Amino acid sequence: MKFASKLALSALALATTAAFAAGEPVIGLITKTETNPFFVKMKEGAQAEAKKLGAKLMTASGKKDGDTAAQITAIENMVTAGAKTLLITSSGDAILPAVKKAQAKGVQVIALDSPFEGADALFATDNYKAGILIGQYAKAALGSKPAKIAMLDLFPGHPVGAQRHNGFMTGFGLKAHDAKSNELSATPETVCAGDTDGNQAKGQTAMENCLQKNPDINVVYTINEPAAAGAYNALKKAGKDKGVIIVSVDGGCAGVADVGKGVIAATSQQYPLKMAAMGVAAGVEYAKGGKKASGYVDTGVTLIAKNAVAGVDSKDVQTGTDLCWGKK
Amino acid sequence: MSTVKDRLPPLSQLGPFIALAVACTVFGLTTDNFFTAANFSLILQQVMVVGVIAIGQTLIVLTAGIDLSCGMLMALGSIVMTKVAQDFGLPTPLAILLGIGATTLFGLLNGLLVTRIKLPPFIVTLGTMNVAFAITQLYSSAQTVTEVPEGMTWLGNTFELAGNPVAYGVVLMVALYLATWFWLRDTASGRHVYAVGNNPEATRLIGIPTDRVLLGVYVLAGLFYGIASLLSVARTGVGDPNGGQTENLDAITAVVLGGTSLFGGRGVVLGTLAGAIVVGVLRNGLTLMGVSSVYQVLITGILVIVAVTVDQLSRKGGR
């Protein structure tokens, strides 16, 4: 009833909501970008699920990661257009006030992939766990040799970057911050750290500089697979591509192919399609008069490695290829 | 002929070289492995893409313009050349020419919009930046092009010079800087670039076709971005649709650190090279010191403000 009285405050919102009320449920999907294969896959998953369940899907995105202004505009437009559920991969906390306003109008807001405060529910990869898996793998693959680790991060202050980084260190058996921290841990074993922006050219530059700092690096943690490809290129040019263990996170098709080629030793694969499909299903459920989704649902992460190591569960490249996102 | 040069205060010319010397001294004293030939070779390879983009940017800034599209054009060029080679099996030289042709064409478009429709360069290149980004994403389906012919990565290889590795691409970059420096300093058409930046109206009145000079500058800049595309492919071994996103501001940073005035008409292209190297040295040295990358951003920001302040003060003094 409170919901109805709030609606009455806005004639426009009332009109548009009424127009859609009788028809199919409207669900909005707002991603960080339109072009990253990860979000392309997410959109595909949402569209397929919406078709299956008879829902209308609206989509929008920012121009690049961090483009919160475009996301805020999309939130406002979609609420005005009658969306009852918004699925958002947040580009930053600047969207929070717009999210609150939408929720006040009775809209269910679900965070996909990237957590943000105040979301009704979060469907996402456990990035800390993704880090732990590759940390455990790297530790087992390295064996008893003393570890000299290069940490190729995203950029400072990003929660996902910190979770993967600190998770990796924990999995490796090093002392690190917990999953809630946004700070990047460091120990004597992590001999070098550099930023990559998740970008191949910058990953290469960061690795080159790290090799100058310590030519004996034998483990490389990378924030994602493009950064890993860049790191490998730097190692190859320095004649050190053999015997250095590169681990990564994502499970995109290009990255899984790199695992097959031995460029990346192991990667933690995540599942954007599943996040989106679950989000749409939750939206349809809510539109039917059901409850809002709540809490955190782990959409799963699988360690993909060409060579399995003792004591660490992993799946082979074929399995990774079957489940990868992007162009095979 | 020499009036423009005489008015240049020594500080804005020497500034980037002083900053470079200071940074090198600090890193040399605080780290063990900074002062090695191999490390300097690496830093030069790391700045060669932005370095060549910044030549084009310098030309445009000298005409009191600015180019926001340069980084995206570089990405577009590298996607075009790698993708036409991969998809249609075109011979490498032809594929490279098509890539450079794409960026040059965009340079021409920028130039036409600036000279014919008299739009401000900032807005024109803001538009073409977005157009180039979208085309790059659509044409590549946002996928990295990984099958790159060997001939396209040759410039990324190194040869030994007195026992030290030198990348062919770095030699090309230095050659392009020297050629541009000579052209701007010692030829009539080069001096016209300064003249247009200093006072377009007076330049037009003495019979120099300002629009043609401007158009030429934008086309030439597009050509430099195309060469940077090739260098980027050579360095990374792939065509990356997500490249070039920060290179526009990186190039402007190099130009400003290099002492070229954002008001146009004053500056030396070799300063831009020093400016680009300063950024690379900071990134490399701070990594060697184990300092967080945030400080690199902080120091670069401060240096930019100092450089612009020096320019502004010297400009006032010149009046």
Range of the domain at B224: 38-308
How far is B116 from A83, CA to CA, in rounded Å?
46
Count the neighbouring beta carbons within 10 Å of the beta carbon of residue A211: 25
Asked if the domains at A2-125+272-293 and A127-269+303-322 fall in one CATH topology, the answer is yes
Region for residue A214 given its phi and psi (left: phi exceeds 0; alpha: psi -120 to 50; beta: otherwise): beta
Backbone angles phi, psi at B176, to 5 degrees: -65, -40
Among A99-108, A146-155, A251-260, B299-308, which is the least confidently predicted range? B299-308
Across chain A, mean pLDDT equals 89
pLDDT band at A147 (very low <50, low <70, confident <90, very high): very high
Mean pLDDT of B36-48: 91
DSSP assignment, residue B271?
Answer: H
Best of B236, B238, B246, B281 to mutate (most A CBs within 10 Å, chain A) = B236
Mean pLDDT of A83-92: 92
pLDDT value of position B61: 97
Structural domains counted in chain B: 1
Domain borders along chain A are 2-125+272-293, 127-269+303-322
Residue B103 lies in a domain: yes
CATH number of domain containing B151: 1.10.3470
Any CB–CB contact under 8 A between B42 and chain A? yes
Mean pLDDT of A71-93: 91
Residue A65 has pLDDT above 80, yes or no: no
B118-176 pLDDT, tens digit per residue, is 999 999 999 999 999 999 989 998 788 988 999 999 999 989 888 888 999 999 999 99
A163-218 pLDDT, tens digit per residue, is 999 999 999 999 999 998 888 999 999 999 999 988 899 999 999 999 999 999 99
Residue B46 has pLDDT above 90, yes or no: yes
Q: How many beta-carbon contacts under 8 Å exist across A and B?
A: 83
Provide, as residue numbers in chain B, all residues whose Cβ is less than 8 Å from the Cβ of A200: 144, 236, 238, 240, 242-243
- Written as six digits, the tokens of A40 are 């392309």
pLDDT value of position A22: 47
In percent, the amount of chain A with pLDDT more than 90 equals: 69
How far is B130 from B69, CA to CA, in rounded Å?
8
Whether domain A2-125+272-293 has CATH 3.40.50.2300: the reply is yes
Q: How many residues does chain A have?
A: 328
In percent, the amount of chain B with pLDDT more than 90 equals: 64
How far is B117 from B127, CA to CA, in rounded Å?
14
Best of A182, A189, A213 to mutate (most B CBs within 10 Å, chain B) = A213
CB contact under 8 A, B33 and A212: yes
pLDDT value of position B6: 52
Residue B315 lies in a domain: no
Cβ proximity of A209 and A194 under 8 Å = yes
Helices (H) and strands (E) in chain A, counts: 12, 12
**Predicted TM-score of the model (pTM):** 0.81
- CATH of A127-269+303-322 among 3.40.50.150, 3.90.1150.110, 3.40.50.2300, 3.40.50.740: 3.40.50.2300
